[in-house]
Structure 1
Amino acid sequence: MAGGQTKKAGGEGKKGGGETKKGNANAGGGGKKKEVKKETGLGLSYKKDENFGEWYSEVVVHGEMIEYYDISGCYILRPWTMSIWEAMQEFFDAEIKKLKIKNCYFPLFVSPTVLQKEKEHVEGFAPEVAWVTKSGQSDLEVPIAIRPTSETVMYPYYSKWIRGHRDLPLKLNQWCNVVRWEFSNPTPFIRSREFLWQEGHTAFATKAEADEEVLDILELYRRVYEEYLAIPVIKGKKSELEKFAGGLYTTSVEAFIPNTGRGIQGATSHCLGQNFAKMFEINFEDEKGEKAMVWQNSWAYSTRTIGVMVMVHGDDKGLVLPPKVAAVQVIVIPVPFKDADTQGIFDACTSTVNTLTEAGIHAEADLRDNYSPGWKYSHWELKGVPLRIEIGPRDLANSQVRVVRRDNSAKVDIPMASLVEQVKDLLVTIQKSLYDVATQKRDACIQKVTTWDEFIEALGQKKLILAPWCDEEEVEKDVKARTKGEMGACKTLCTPFEQPDLPEGTLCFASGKPAKKWSYWGRSY
């Protein structure tokens, strides 16, 4: 997929994504007058509803979020992306520190002996593990794995550091990269061979403490999605078939992409139980002086979050960024007409940026004189900036600015005297509106079914399906097998914590046995 996805924009034969260069001097070598670019060359070739995959590929490149790299499945994360990641990181890092979780860093290399110690866990990751086999021209005596996750890297040292009950709880987190050499279609953010994430690894004296933390962390993941990325998620528990390899149970937040009818696992919080403690001999002396094994958790969210945000909020003009994660919340654009006081307008733009910046709003002015205002509008719409401020001669004369929302194109004139207050209100309104609209679209796709025929019909309509289930692994495997096709098999996404009423005598939609719970089903990324 790499390298071939940037298509010509708008059928105009122009380069997309900000690649329109400065105009040449007039032909013939006479005048030095600058040519102002009016044709944007920025329009997307594909519409979100018509070709979602190509639309997504265009948006993340033209929106200057990623650049393709010469190794398939690996991507350059540009500053526009990193600022979003940093906004989430700042929130999450502060919250886990309130829970007394400390940051650390472990090496990215894993020895084969340690990696293979926990059999079930390794089998879950084995096909995706990348190996270093050479140093220069020499073969390594023992190949070294690159971490796909860090349980087996960290836990030998937990065994060393934990001796007695006073050493507990041990609560560590690291912000790092991991490598999973997947062979399914790579997709920027959603499925890549290297990605950034945080991974927390904690050890407790009791299961009750571990259970409590699993849900505390899951709530933080809900907040990342709903409060920062403006994406509704469902909190729930994974089936035995879908849980983390080697763990006791897995909880997750699940998002849904209405355009494709696919669920997407947003983040996971696992209770590992005592399985890893047994394998890595993480024992401690309890308060009675008796030997006991720790209870462990691990939890993570990754740069996949950013891809979900693009998919949910983006439109045919490009990215739509929630204000809470936007590097630039307000872009100020001068609109000088012929014979206008151009310098006065430029000064007003600079002054507006300074006023907003002092108030804690991320604002910038686009004062480039080789692009027309129309080109700039398209450029910053493509990059998803939440608010655009336009200042022209009339605005200058009336001591006002024109403000345009990215999410719904609504325009309003605001007096300079109340600029900060009204811009802050608008940013809050946009954040809430993005979440509300995404929730309405998601909820419109939820289909409650009770029979196999209803299930198949809903699956064909790209629905997020809520169905009564007997909670048997063989039945889930059977559903996967019976729904396997070009679009991919259907599976359980999660069993929601908020359970609808399950009347006595309700039968499983797939097996006809007594149902034990309601679960969400669907195709997924």
Structure 2
Amino acid sequence: MTDTKDQSKAQKKAEKQTKQAKQTTVPVVGGKKTDDIIGITVKKSENFSQWYQEVVLKAELIEYYTEISGFFIMRPATMYIWNTIRKWFQERIEAMGVEETSFPMFLSQKSLEKEKAHVEGFAPELAWVTKAGEKDLDVPVAVRPTSEAVMYPYYAKWIRSHRDLPFRLNQWNSVVRWEAKQTTPFLRAREFLWQEGHTAHLTEEQAAKEVLEILELYAGIYEQLLAVPVVRGRKTEAEKFAGGYYTTTVEGYIPSNGRGIQGATSHCLGQNFSKMFDITVEDPNEKGKHLYVWQNSWGLSTRVIGVMVMIHGDDKGLVLPPRIAKIQSILIPVGLTAKMTAEEKEAHLKKLDEILDILKKAGVRAESDLRDGYTPAWKFNDWELKGVPLRIEFGPKDAAKDVVSYARRDTGEKGTIPIAELTTKVPEMLETIQQDMYNRAEKAFREHRLQITNWDEVVPALDAKNLVIIPHCLVPECEEQIKEMTKGRSDESPDTPEGQKAPSMGMKSLCIPFEQPEGIVKGETKCLNPQCSRFAEAWCMFGRSY
């Protein structure tokens, strides 16, 4: 009975979220249709959370799965982006010798007990299957939150000799983590898509080399495909992967609320898991002696899409970088009036088709919008909401001059392009848009990464939506203390608008950047925490974060 009540509650909550995001509308300027376009009803700067929920829903990236709270349907626009990322990454890891695999989604209690230290962090989020039909299972099975416990017993079976190394497998799958916190599309869901690579090596040096190679590929996904800048670094001991040796990470920044966000992680597991699962090979230099292998694991999830939306989106909706946009350019006929004859309209649309053909032959992913019953203004709003990078308009006045008119989604810049130059100008403009989007995001990140050596400046910097880079001792207890010391803000008025409120959580370490500023003298420079008496070990990037 309780289960039914809980399910009903969850369903109502999901339905309410969907309704809130959908129900408000924005009128179309110059529209002849009686219904209004579904538009974004809040400003990004005033209510960032609501803005984000509206954009991902109305731009048709996701739909709320109303059957069970915390789950989301990935719509075709999302899957196109994810598959573009997948193809790019897959090509590069295959060149490294990584092979694709697919393991079952369930794991046993026995496997979980083997890696207690690692699983402890996931324990509250494990989803258990206890029945098959009406019959209770003799041994309950868990749905994987990650696959170490599923895969590594078989690594122990398959890896017999040092000649089997490096042993590299990757799988693209979904995992379930039954989040108790409020879920958010892409950023925090109870099920999400990801890839997880699991590799084994003979030496620490070989494992370390791969960790950084994969991290650089993750940075490439953000910077080259999504136009999102990241900081490469290493997690502190307090923030590293549970049970691992060390964790490297790419960290992003959301300007709208000043929060950091973990982009993707590449872990060196050391020999911890090979000892748990007895994954050994004979020492090639000493007969009869066995060595535990060195292992890595690395993962990237659909969270990347949420990060991209939050950074590039605006008050009109989604703004897509051209390299991952399913439609890079939308072609819209304009100026077709009732005074035109059927023959004139037909001739104009034929020319439009020719322009579309020119764009496609130039390698541009282009489509034309010939929907009846919608004004050009309605169509402009619709495609702006969906983030198409470049709009091309073609009317009788353009035809008379042998040009097309264009509007960039990222800047709103407008102009004309001679039809004879479309094959070169449009691809060039798409690359310019891609680079400009990255440059703007990179400038914002750089300007909001502050190097601080005075503790009194830390909280004001956080409240001004910055991340901070400070001298730190890297001791977990000190990190916890810093988190408590930087919580909340007592001077905030209850009347402050939602989007202008400072986050109440304290700051935590995001990473120890690989690019270290100068200024720390070992054995002299103190940790910035005024309650810590230790010396600083490195510059560490801290911030309020997701």
The whole-number CA distance in structure 1 between the counterparts of 2:333 and 2:520 is: 63
The answer for the alignment partner of 1:334 in structure 2 is 333
Give the counterpart letter for 1:2 in structure 2.
Answer: A
* Identity value in percent: 52
Distance 1:39 1:392, change over 3 A: farther
- Deviation, 1:43, is 2.6
The answer for the alignment partner of 1:45 in structure 2 is 41
1:345 to 327, 340, 348: 348
Q: Say how many residue pairs are matched.
A: 506
Contact 1:494–1:519 under 8 Å retained in 2: yes
- Deviation, 1:359, is 2.0
SS at the partner of 1:188? coil
The whole-number CA distance in structure 2 between the counterparts of 1:135 and 1:170 is: 36
The whole-number CA distance in structure 2 between the counterparts of 1:310 and 1:275 is: 37
The whole-number CA distance in structure 2 between the counterparts of 1:202 and 1:452 is: 42
Contact 2:170–2:196 under 8 Å retained in 1: yes
The whole-number CA distance in structure 2 between the counterparts of 1:219 and 1:268 is: 11
- Deviation, 1:8, is 7.2
Gaps of 5+ in 1: 17-34
List per-residue Cα deviations over 1:49-107 (Å, max 9, x = no partner): 00000000000000010001021111000001110001111100000011000001000
SS at the partner of 1:493? strand
The whole-number CA distance in structure 2 between the counterparts of 1:222 and 1:463 is: 21
SS at the partner of 1:190? coil
1:61 matches 2:57: yes
The whole-number CA distance in structure 2 between the counterparts of 1:72 and 1:116 is: 29
The whole-number CA distance in structure 1 between the counterparts of 2:440 and 2:452 is: 24
2:222 to 221, 225, 228: 225
List per-residue Cα deviations over 1:110-130 (Å, max 9, x = no partner): 011112211110101111111
1:517 to 516, 538, 543: 538
The whole-number CA distance in structure 2 between the counterparts of 1:13 and 1:291 is: 69
- Deviation, 1:420, is 1.4
The answer for the alignment partner of 1:23 in structure 2 is none
List per-residue Cα deviations over 1:285-335 (Å, max 9, x = no partner): 121322111000000000000000000000000000000000000000011
The whole-number CA distance in structure 1 between the counterparts of 2:121 and 2:41 is: 39
- Deviation, 1:10, is 10
List per-residue Cα deviations over 1:444-480 (Å, max 9, x = no partner): 2122211321112212222111111011111011112
The whole-number CA distance in structure 1 between the counterparts of 2:16 and 2:424 is: 45
SS at the partner of 1:435? helix
The answer for the alignment partner of 1:30 in structure 2 is none
- Deviation, 1:9, is 7.5
- Stretch moving more, 457-466 or 502-511: 502-511
SS at the partner of 1:466? strand
The answer for the alignment partner of 1:370 in structure 2 is 373
Contact 2:26–2:39 under 8 Å retained in 1: no
The answer for the alignment partner of 1:411 in structure 2 is 414
Give the counterpart letter for 1:518 in structure 2.
Answer: W
Contact 1:10–1:45 under 8 Å retained in 2: no
The whole-number CA distance in structure 1 between the counterparts of 2:143 and 2:84 is: 28
Contact 1:165–1:205 under 8 Å retained in 2: yes
- Stretch moving more, 424-433 or 398-407: 398-407
1:353-364 mapped onto 2 (5 Å cutoff): 353-364=356-367
Contact 2:22–2:58 under 8 Å retained in 1: no
List per-residue Cα deviations over 1:405-439 (Å, max 9, x = no partner): 00001111111111010000000000000000111
SS at the partner of 1:116? helix
1:316 matches 2:312: no
List per-residue Cα deviations over 1:130-160 (Å, max 9, x = no partner): 1111111221111110000000100000000
2:169 to 139, 149, 172: 172
The whole-number CA distance in structure 2 between the counterparts of 1:462 and 1:336 is: 46
The root-mean-square deviation of aligned C-alpha atoms, in Å, is 1.7
Contact 1:253–1:265 under 8 Å retained in 2: yes
The whole-number CA distance in structure 2 between the counterparts of 1:451 and 1:413 is: 52
- Deviation, 1:395, is 1.1
Gaps of 5+ in 2: 1-12, 489-502
- Deviation, 1:487, is 2.0
SS at the partner of 2:46? coil
SS at the partner of 1:524? coil
Give the counterpart letter for 1:107 in structure 2.
Answer: P
- Deviation, 1:349, is 2.1
Contact 2:403–2:419 under 8 Å retained in 1: yes
SS at the partner of 1:2? helix
Give the counterpart letter for 2:129 in structure 1.
Answer: V
